[in-house]
Amino acid sequence: MYGELIEKIGYHCPDYFLKQWDRFKDYPWGVLAHSTHVHGIGTYENGIEKPRARVTLATRIPPETCKKINFGYRNPDEIRPEEYANREDEGVLLVPKAGEMLFQLRERPAWAKAS
């Protein structure tokens, strides 16, 4: 529903919208809020945005679309996870199957237990 709006405005730090409020004030505020949750706090001064975090997607979304919404792009077929292992001293942390661990429950709910 809001995909077209996100594609139009992109993802930015809050400062980007607040310092250009006249340009963005008529967009749904929920969309503006959502689009600030990815890059986190940052600054927007003299037309230059400096987000706290830069996001790069390894995805089948076309590179042009990633750029349009203010994300970097990586071809997922070119990523070799083993190249990121054991590099903690460089500030690189590889967490194998992180998505599977992220939302793991301590106990299985009753409805999920085998009968």
Residue 95 forms part of a structural domain: no
Tally of domains within the chain: 1
Quick one: pLDDT at residue 112? 63
Per-residue confidence (pLDDT) for residue 43, from 0 to 100:
95
pLDDT at 107: 72
82: left (phi over 0), alpha (psi -120 to 50) or beta: alpha
Q: Give the pLDDT score at 102.
A: 61
Return the pLDDT at 59: 92
Residue 114 lies in a domain: no
Tell me, yes or no, whether 43 lies in a domain.
Answer: yes
**Pairing, β 42-45 against β 48-51:** antiparallel
Q: Is residue 84 part of a domain?
A: no
Averaged in consecutive runs of 10 residues, what is the pLDDT profile of the chain (115 residues)? Answer: 89 96 96 90 95 88 95 94 93 80 65 62
What is the model's pLDDT at position 104? 60
**Is residue 29, in this structure, part of any structural domain at all?**
yes
User: Is 42 domain-assigned?
Assistant: yes
Q: How far apart are CA 36 and CA 54, in angstroms?
A: 12
The domain in which residue 45 lies consists of 3-77
SS3 (DSSP) at 58: strand
CATH code of the domain covering residue 72: 3.90.226.30
The answer to whether 69 and 51 have CB atoms below 8 angstroms apart is no
- Give just the sign of the alpha carbon dihedral 58, 60, 69, 73: positive
In a domain, 104, yes or no: no
Tell me the pTM: 0.71
3-state secondary structure of 97: coil
Question: Is 34 within a domain?
Answer: yes
Q: Would you state the pLDDT for residue 39? A: 83
